[in-house]
Chain A
Amino acid sequence: MLHITCPWCGPRDDNEFHYGGEAHILRPAAPEKLSDAEWAEYLFLKQNAKGPFLERWSHSAGCRQWFNVVRNTATDEIIEVYPMGELPKSPEGIKAYEGNWRRQSAAEKNAKAGVSGT
């Protein structure tokens, strides 16, 4: 059982958390400007990395806060926990973030062009 450190409540068993999948999928600011294919990148395509992976969790049985985690999906080792709206600081995290195809995707460019969340 994973031991995940909630930034607020501290380390807890994984079944206290709700999994949010890949992190840093920015919601396009002007979806109407995207082709169906580009919209599908945002909506469906995954990075699904084997190795360091940036993902979102929410402490659903605790403080209900969302946060980001860098976890090695090959070993389940947790490398870093960091708040929503921020970027990873660990070398593995930074590499995973920059290496993600999404950084070049039209959907992300669209999101960054307008107001964006995280």
Chain B
Amino acid sequence: MADLETLTARTPLDPLDIVIGGPSDAGVTLTEIPFQTRLVLRGLPSDKKFVSTVKKALGVELPAKPGTVASSKTARVLWTGPNEWMVYSDDTGLAAALTKAVSNLHAAVTDVTEHYTLIRLSGRHARDVMIKGCAIDLHPREFGPGQCAQSHLGRITVLFDQTDETPSYDILVRASFAEYLWMYLEDAGLEFGVRIENVG
């Protein structure tokens, strides 16, 4: 029931009643991207059948290099472990399709769309905000678009990838930690000015 979705779907940040807006020259902007399809894909890279099947289904080769991202029209695939990937997509049917594709292989597809939400941190000071709470070296020489990492941010664990040179970081956070992360980023951004672009 489509209307039900629009009427009642709630994102983990909705209860914060966040006010959209802020200075136009803000050093960072914050955006929530709540209901994008997110799938945990498990399988063995050594399993040729698995790799080729998945490539067909996602339209892109699974990133084999730790901390890298591969993108196609349908999906963005982040390396999260030697036998694990995080798949982002706007195709709501992807979960079913992918599950079906790998059904008789040693592989697993787990829908975690609701388990997480995604917060996009962008702007000329985005990196300065990130390194306040993240110990990974995000210097352009070390970390750029197409790279992802799982690490601590403040007091929680997140998965993030850099999506452009601005820089912008898409930070995937467990739904129940989203409120904390949002408050954290807002506070950390204060000295540079924060603009909120979208929530929910």
Query: Residues of A at under 8 Å CB distance from B?
Result: 8-10, 12-13, 15-16, 61-65
Contacts of A64 in B (CB 8 A): 81, 84
Query: Residues of B at under 8 Å CB distance from A?
Result: 66-67, 80-82, 84, 135-136, 149-152, 157
Contacts of B136 in A (CB 8 A): 12
Contacts of B135 in A (CB 8 A): 12-13, 16
Classify the interface of chain B: helix, strand, loop or mixed: strand
Task: Give min CB distance, B4 to chain A, whole Å.
Answer: 36
Q: B157 and A63: CB pair below 8 A?
A: no
Contacts of B149 in A (CB 8 A): 9, 62
Task: Give min CB distance, A58 to chain B, whole Å.
Answer: 11
Contact of A9 (CB < 8 Å), options: B84, B150, B152, B157: B150
Q: B82 and A63: CB pair below 8 A?
A: yes
A12 to B134, CA, bound (A): 11
A52 to B82, CA, bound (A): 28
Contacts of A16 in B (CB 8 A): 135, 151-152
Q: A61 and B152: CB pair below 8 A?
A: yes
Contact of A10 (CB < 8 Å), options: B66, B81, B152: B66
Q: A63 and B66: CB pair below 8 A?
A: yes
Contact of B150 (CB < 8 Å), options: A13, A15, A63: A63
CB-defined A-B contacts under 8 Å, sample of 9: A9-B149, A9-B150, A13-B135, A15-B152, A61-B152, A61-B157, A62-B149, A62-B151, A63-B82
